[in-house]
Structure 1
Amino acid sequence: MSVDIDITGLPLERIQFCPSPLAELGAMLHALAEPGHHPGLHAWATTTASSLKPDLADRLTEADFLWRSTRSDILLPAVPRATLAEELDDLDRMDDETFTSAAFEVTCFSGYEKGWPSPLVDSGQRARVLELSAARGPRQAAFAERMLETPGVLRAWLRRLFEDCEQAFFGDNWQRVRVQLATDARHKADLLQHKGLAEALAAVSPAVSLSEDRSRIVVDKLANGRTTAYGQGVTFLPTAFGWPHLFAVHRSGWKPVIQYPVTATELPQPTGPHLVQQRLEALAHPVRMRLCRTLSRGPHTTGELAAAYNLTPPEVSRHIAVMKKAGLLSTRRRGRYVLHQLDLTTVARLGSDFLETVLR
């Protein structure tokens, strides 16, 4: 599964790497709303949340469906600016129908890529938004009603909310990370110019690659999606607060945007969904689970395992092959014997690999 961005005929100069204040604010808001997604930011989230004034904390809770479960496209600008104020000005220039559709796209629409009509003009979509908002609690229901009744007023309310966040915590944090993000963006742009798109994408994330025919940017996610960048280009937004998430805007009619976490030596490299599934399936078999009990304690030969579990050597070999293919075993030769041992580091990471895969 993946999100594919068709770049057939796209000039490289239309691929942009640039930090975005609004996108980074969105990443911070998500980390505050879902600190369990970001164990590395636990101390920051706790300190920041405890310092918020009650009124600001309440307002953030009122609008958190825009960034809690995933990130609304309005928080991932296709044209990054130098300041939050400039990006909020761009949002102000977006028409009400487009803004409202994007605001509700995640929690109240189905078929993200289809470009459903705005609930401001379509009665069926309006009823669906109100119904699904009510199912998600009174706060989102009230927010939806206000947005549909007086979108201009609600949009002004949101702008003030983001401006208050800048005063309360975002401004200081943005000053702290913006140089890092700008440096990362320049590095990726240099790779693009001097070594090509494949090298630049590999530096973005192991989960982002160029297709074999070089016609598509492929984002490895537990989702299927497709869009085209021809005539618009692609924007890459680095984030210091986003790991393990990798967002790909592929909404119909919108310029594709990818927000990626900046590389840090302490962060593990992402494991592909197929490999995570392969490892889970390998460990789920009852015979292989019992073999793992022995292999976790030390290296063993196929013959030793067969004798210990009353299996034939070919049976054990088949199970060993499955686990080796999944990268769960280390193998070494000692004389004429081949010894297998469970890779404890890989198995220990499997839980976090699974979480990072589904959160990506």
Structure 2
Amino acid sequence: MSVSIDIAGLRPERVAVVPSPLAELGMALHALSEPGHHPGLQGWVTTVTAGLDPHLADRMCEADFLWRTTFSDLFLPCAGIPGGPTLPGATLAEELDLLDKLTDEQFVDAALEFTCALPYASQGPAVLADAELRSRALELAAARGPQQLRFSKRLLDDPPRIRAWLRQFLEDCEEAFFADVWHRLRHQLAADARHKTDLLRHKGLAEALTSVSRAVTLDESGGRITIDKLRQGHTVIRDRSLLLVPTSLGWPHLMVLHRHDWQPVLHYPVGSPELTAPPSVDQLTLRMTALSHPVRMQLCRNLARSTYTTSELVRIHGMTAPEISRHLGVLKKAGLITTRRRGRYVLHQLDVPAVARLGSDFLEALLR
């Protein structure tokens, strides 16, 4: 399984390596919402969380589906700007101006990526104009709780209002904690971007991609970049350009933006913090046995990013409810997933710290 990018006709000078303050803010929000994904950031998460204004913390929870599951493509709006390749802005304000340039349809589609099964790598129906698709999006949002349902209703009813809300929220995050974070990290990210750019100029694209991650390979004869991930996907470079964006907060996530008609982006981590101690031999045996089935590995990938009901997993994997329930039972017995009830819905989620104790290679494969 992998995500591939067809780069036929790509010239070296059309590959750009540029840090993005908005993407880094997205990763900061993700780490604050899912600290289990980022064991090396526990101290920072604790410090920021303790100092957050309660009102800002409540607003952070209101739309956390935009960044909890990794983070929305809205944090890389430069990739969706029509009319040619666009680079990230140098400041958060510049990037928020780029976010304002996305159409309402682009904004809503990207915002609903994790709550409505819209086509991602191909042209799909317009959710703002499709009553059936809108109803489905609200039904799936309801499974994740009343707060997400309320936000999704407002998003579909009045996109400009939500766009203004999101911009103000991100500006408030910058004032509360992100300005200090960006001041500390931007020099490291700029240095990494210069290093990758030098590799591109002097040693070529293959060498630069290898330095991004060992999971990224280049088939020069076939004109294709392949990213080893537990998912399938394919895209073609738009406007004959490719964007690489480094992140200091993102490990172990290696994100590939391959949305239809958007510029492809590799959002790659700089540095790899150490994980915690391994589990006992008995726990390890039980958990590795549970993970020996490919379907259960796929379920782990889904559940690492968000909570899902059994019926949602049935629809995603094209299997029967008893089959999915049986696999979930094996994972739960091994202590790898947790379940909780919300009204009439039972939600399943991966216990990321437990998986982290199995080793960084497996966790990175699940999350990249």
TM-score (norm: length of structure 2): 0.74
Question: Which residue is 1:52 aligned to?
Answer: 52
Question: Which residue is 1:295 aligned to?
Answer: none
70, 82, 96: which one pairs with 2:90?
82
Question: Which residue is 1:150 aligned to?
Answer: 158
Matched, 1:241 2:249: yes
Question: Which residue is 2:112 aligned to?
Answer: 104
Q: 2-side partners of 1:106 and 1:166: how far apart?
A: 25
Q: 1-side partners of 2:130 and 2:67: how far apart?
A: 25
Correspondence 1:47-196 to 2 at 5 A: 47-77=47-77, 78=79, 79-196=87-204
Deviations 1:143-163 (A, max 9, x none): 001111111111100000000
Question: Which residue is 1:353 aligned to?
Answer: 361
Q: 2-side partners of 1:133 and 1:230: how far apart?
A: 32
Structure 1 counterpart of 2:227, one-letter code: V
Give the CA deviation at 1:359.
1.3
Deviations 1:69-122 (A, max 9, x none): 121111124321100001101111111111111110122124422332232111
Q: 2-side partners of 1:178 and 1:43: how far apart?
A: 20
Structure 2 counterpart of 1:102, one-letter code: A
Question: Which residue is 1:10 aligned to?
Answer: 10
CA RMSD of aligned residues (A): 2.1
Deviations 1:142-201 (A, max 9, x none): 000111111111110000000000000000000000010011001001100110000000
Question: Which residue is 1:251 aligned to?
Answer: 259
Computing the radius of gyration over CA atoms, which structure comes out larger, 1 or 2?
A: 1
Q: 2-side partners of 1:22 and 1:55: how far apart?
A: 21
Give the CA deviation at 1:349.
7.4
Give the CA deviation at 1:263.
3.4
TM-score (norm: length of structure 1): 0.76
Give the CA deviation at 1:22.
0.3
Task: Name the CA shift for 1:2/1:114 in 2 (closer, same or farther; >3 Å).
Answer: same
Q: Is the 8 A contact 2:105 2:126 kept in 1?
A: yes
Identity across the alignment (%): 58
Q: 2-side partners of 1:123 and 1:138: how far apart?
A: 20
Structure 2 counterpart of 1:9, one-letter code: G
Deviations 1:4-31 (A, max 9, x none): 0000111111111000000000000000
Question: Which residue is 2:40 aligned to?
Answer: 40
Q: 2-side partners of 1:37 and 1:103: how far apart?
A: 21
Q: Is the 8 A contact 1:9 1:230 kept in 2?
A: no
Structure 1 counterpart of 2:243, one-letter code: T
Deviations 1:275-296 (A, max 9, x none): xxxxx58x97xxxxxxxxxxxx
Task: Name the CA shift for 1:211/1:90 in 2 (closer, same or farther; >3 Å).
Answer: same
Q: 2-side partners of 1:159 and 1:118: how far apart?
A: 23
Q: Which runs of 4+ in 1 moved over 4 A?
A: none
Question: Which residue is 1:261 aligned to?
Answer: 269
Q: Comparing 172-181 with 96-105, which one deviates more in the overlay?
A: 96-105
Structure 2 counterpart of 1:126, one-letter code: R
229, 239, 248: which one pairs with 2:237?
229
Structure 2 counterpart of 1:43, one-letter code: G
Q: Comparing 103-112 with 198-207, which one deviates more in the overlay?
A: 103-112
Matched, 1:203 2:211: yes
Q: 2-side partners of 1:9 and 1:353: how far apart?
A: 34
224, 229, 238: which one pairs with 1:216?
224
Q: Comparing 59-68 with 254-263, which one deviates more in the overlay?
A: 254-263
Give the CA deviation at 1:214.
4.8
Unaligned runs of 5+ in 1: 269-279, 285-347
Task: Name the CA shift for 1:350/1:213 in 2 (closer, same or farther; >3 Å).
Answer: farther
Give the CA deviation at 1:217.
1.1
Q: 2-side partners of 1:48 and 1:214: how far apart?
A: 46
Q: 2-side partners of 1:104 and 1:110: how far apart?
A: 8
Q: How many residues align?
A: 286
